[in-house]
Amino acid sequence: MSSLTGQVALVTGASRGIGAATARALAAAGAHVVLVARTARDLEAVEQDIFDAGGTATIAPCDLAEPEAIGRLATAITTRWPALDLLVINAAVLPVLTPVWQIEPRDLNRGLLLNVAATQALIACFHAALRKAPAARVIGVTSSVGASPRAYWGAYGASKAAFDNLLDAYAQEVRGMSAIRVAIVDPGATRTAMRAKAYPGEDPASVKAPEVVAARLVALASEEFASPHRERVENT
């Protein structure tokens, strides 16, 4: 029996990349995984992978950038499962890489909406369910540019800096009043569609597979750690 057997985990951005790999790994560890992303067809493919491997999952197509969508998602999930053991906040958008003075306001706002505002909404809507779990974990997937600014990455970096700040503040707020623990994980260079978009000339084989990151996130779901916890998953 796995330490995650009987637990309920929600993973955003679960249709591909790190999110899909994490969902599969959590299901393999015994958790029932709620798969969240915009496209139902892509979620169904991940769900089928999980079923084929003997796990269980539920798809929940949801556009996290839609103002009321997260509230509806939370109502549907908490009606079926009052407690949520694990929330993996992985969904993100990469704004156009460009000098700060050329950032399009619409592109910046889109990044802030999904990477920051949706994060706060997820925490607000699922906080009560997380408190009902005996040892809930919130894991946020971040980027190194949130802590270390990089030329041309200003829009994405600003959104991830705010993302990190929100999660760190939340960790401090719940530390003395609940069993919720928060981890902020920088996956490092990983073979994802977002990475390919940012580095179109890079050999995908030169960076680690999403499954490497997923294995670490699943381990954090049951590990004891001081909250807030920060780490980077290095190449192997």
Asked if residues 170 and 118 have their Cβ atoms less than 8 Å apart, the reply is: no
User: What amino acid positions are annotated as catalytic residues?
Assistant: 156
Asked if residues 184 and 229 have their Cβ atoms less than 8 Å apart, the reply is: yes
- Measured CA to CA, the distance from residue 13 to residue 151 in angstroms comes to 26
pLDDT at 156: 98
Sheet of 229-232, strands arranged across: 56-61, 32-37, 8-12, 86-89, 137-141, 181-186, 229-232
Q: Are strands 229-232 and 32-37 parallel, antiparallel or unpaired?
A: unpaired
Asked if residues 137 and 86 have their Cβ atoms less than 8 Å apart, the reply is: yes
Q: Are strands 56-61 and 32-37 parallel, antiparallel or unpaired?
A: parallel
If one counts every other C-beta atom within 10 angstroms of the C-beta of residue 221, the result is 24
- Measured CA to CA, the distance from residue 81 to residue 75 in angstroms comes to 10
208 by Cβ neighbours in 10 Å (0-12 / 13-18 / 19+) ranks as middle
Each residue's pLDDT expressed in tens, for the chain with a length of 236 residues: 468 999 999 999 999 999 999 999 999 999 999 999 999 999 999 999 999 999 999 999 999 999 899 999 999 999 999 999 999 999 999 999 999 999 999 999 999 999 999 999 999 999 999 999 999 999 999 999 999 999 999 999 999 999 999 999 999 999 989 999 999 999 999 999 999 999 999 999 999 999 999 999 999 999 999 999 999 998 76
All domains of the chain in start order, with CATH:
8-232 (3.40.50.720)
pLDDT at 1: 40
pLDDT at 67: 80
